[in-house]
Amino acid sequence: MIHRLDGIARRYREIEAEMGRPEVASDHARMTKLAREQRALRETVQTFEAYQRARHEFESARELQKNERDPEMQEYLKAEEHRASAQLAELEEKLKVLLLPKDPNDDRDVVVEIQGAEGGEEAALFAGDLFRMYTKWAERKGWKVDVVEESPTEKGGFDKVVFEVHGHGAYSQLKYEGGVHRVQRVPKTEAQGRIHTSAATVAVMPEADPVEVELKPEDIEIKTSTSQGPGGQSVNTTYSAIRITHKPTGMMVSIQDEKSQLQNKEKALRVLRARLYEMKLAEQQAAIGAQRRGMVGTGSRSEKIRTYNFKENRVTDHRIKLTLHRLDAVMNGDLDEVVAALVNADRAAQLNGQPPD
């Protein structure tokens, strides 16, 4: 383990030196890649440095005891040795976790797609609730949310909403949200007070750098139109809405969120790159493709990863059999406990040599 940590610390110093070179500092793509690698290594290097200090303190306290004759100083040195030993054990366990194989996308920004699935208008309303939940969570984490595409319903829900999340570590935590989310509650449309079950799907995609997904001009078709509001009426007279079609795959992205055609085009290209990057990962690693398909599936309630029961104020994550009776707080953006439990379960499975779910 120490040999591997020495290599990581050496690489961290090499990155620092490289980022300080003028020809690298002026290369945005290179700087972005180096900065991402540096961030990924930083916690491991800092923990290793703390481990080395604790080891030095432990060895010094033990060595000094050999020649110390003063009883009080002997007791002090023993206490120092015990403290450093406990710190070493704690840091060693942390390093074991930090050395686990990392998802190379963990430090990326994210594109999230939420769609109402089974349950009609109630599913659309729940999709809107999930969107607001993630928006509030992002605010707590200091992440920035940009809406990319939305298809609102008359009663305040969403048939579909797509948004970007920008912030350090966004994908590393949001990736656990991908799947079918089931809700059990009395809908606003229910006159007799009966509990209904509906579902919405959440797909989480890492955002790709432009250099990683090449979009050839001849492979994309860009069309403009005036932005449309509910019922199809034009909401402005400029041709700001953008629809980009990727000819080789038939993939299409439509954006009309911004008033500027250029801003909408940039957003559409980012979403298209994220979707193509996801396809690229699936081709490179069949396991990722299988995981992605299992993430969204068909949107059936039977494929749920989490249930939100409003009557019992309960949220249950079925992957790790976690149940919390504070759904109100979760829907208000307090997702940290749920996601931390998922992260810990993932790490525990890796430490035990088991593949993550």
**Rounded CA separation 218/56 (Å):** 61
pTM: 0.68
pLDDT score of 237: 46
CATH of domain 2-98: 1.20.58
CATH of domain 108-357: 3.30.70.1660
pLDDT score of 294: 44
Local mean pLDDT, 10-residue blocks, the chain (357 residues) = 89 92 88 87 92 93 88 91 93 86 83 89 93 96 91 89 91 92 84 83 84 78 68 50 86 76 83 82 56 44 82 94 96 95 87 59
pLDDT score of 171: 92
Residue whose token pair is 């990962």: 281
Q: Where are the domains of the chain?
A: 2-98, 108-357
Give the CA count within 13 Å in the CB-facing half-sphere of 156. Answer: 7
pLDDT score of 228: 55
The total of other beta-carbon atoms located within 10 Å of residue 240's CB is 22
**Rounded CA separation 278/291 (Å):** 11
Nearest C-alpha neighbor of 343 from the set 100, 165, 168: 100
- Phi and psi (nearest 5°) for 290? -65, -40
pLDDT score of 291: 46
